[in-house]
Amino acid sequence: SQTIHQWPATLVQPVGSPLSLECTVEGTSNPNLYWYRQAAGRGLQLLFYSVGIGQISSEVPQNLSASRPQDRQFILSSKKLLLSDSGFYLCAWSAGGSQPQHFGDGTRLSIL
Amino acid sequence: GESVGLHLPTLSVQEGDNSIINCAYSNSASDYFIWYKQESGKGPQFIIDIRSNMDKRQGQRVTVLLNKTVKHLSLQIAATQPGDSAVYFCAETYSGSARQLTFGSGTQLTVLP
């Protein structure tokens, strides 16, 4: 069966520091991969998605970036974090087509 | 712009009763809809989906109804249990969008003992 892993589960970072969140998927090949951010009590905002290695589409202009160095690895990065980057970050995968997205358990990011 | 919204932000039901969570969508091109359940501190969990060529789909204790005429989606939970307490999101997408999902803001379901 397919599984998705995100780490770390929680992270506290100072303003201006770099960020690297990692997401890996097991049990499937060539998945579509997604990064979302969720503000408290709100829905999910799509940040990036990828349909293949090295293919990244950005949905929201900001100081975050994403990379897909391997087929089942998706990384969310920042060179300098802002206070507004605090939130709950979720990675998801899907098989494409009319298939649901499946989410990891997220990373709670707090910026101090 | 296009959006998916929920009629009610909170819903409280007695344990054992049926729950109905509603969702309105505005993109008439949407052809695939999903309901997710999100417990506190966790990622959304897939519950059930429905394609636009269907009006109704049933799962275990859950039923999704789709009314394309009025762009309305609902999730019915039979015999609601305490473990059903969570935030429920509807999401919609359409072919050609790399299946990017547009999420509603969510409904908090609370099951009362």
Lookup: tokens for A8:
């770390």
Residue A24: per-residue pLDDT: 97
Q: What is the spatial distance between Cα B29 and Cα B40, in angstroms, rounded to a whole number?
A: 32
Binary contact (A105, B42; C-beta < 8 A): yes
Q: What is the spatial distance between Cα A34 and Cα A70, in angstroms, rounded to a whole number?
A: 14
> Of B111 and B4, which is predicted with more confidence?
B111
Q: What is the mean pLDDT of chain A?
A: 93
Give A-chain residues touching B100 at CB under 8 angstroms. 34, 46, 49, 59
- The yes-or-no verdict on residue B69 having pLDDT over 60 is yes
Q: How confident is the model at residue A13 (pLDDT cuts 50, 70, 90)?
A: very high
> What DSSP designation does A82 have?
-
State mean pLDDT over A94-99. Answer: 82
- The yes-or-no verdict on residue A33 having pLDDT over 50 is yes
| Range in A80-94, A95-109, B60-74, B97-111 the model is least confident about | B97-111
CA B69 to chain centre: 17
Q: How confident is the model at residue B100 (pLDDT cuts 50, 70, 90)?
A: confident
- The yes-or-no verdict on residue B7 having pLDDT over 60 is no
- Collect all residues from B whose CB is shorter than 8 A from any CB in A: 31-32, 34, 36, 41-46, 49, 51, 89, 95, 98-101, 103-106
- The yes-or-no verdict on residue A43 having pLDDT over 90 is no
At A34, the amino acid letter reads Y
Give A-chain residues touching B66 at CB under 8 angstroms. none
Chain A residue nearest residue B108, CA to CA:
A41
A13 touches chain B (CB under 8 A): no
- The yes-or-no verdict on residue B2 having pLDDT over 50 is no
A57 touches chain B (CB under 8 A): yes
Binary contact (B99, A46; C-beta < 8 A): no
The secondary structure element, H or E, covering residue A8 is: none
CA A32 to chain B, closest CA, distance in angstroms equals: 8
How many percent of chain B have pLDDT more than 90?
73
Residue B59: per-residue pLDDT: 95
- DSSP β-ladder status, B10-14 and B107-112: parallel
A102 touches chain B (CB under 8 A): yes
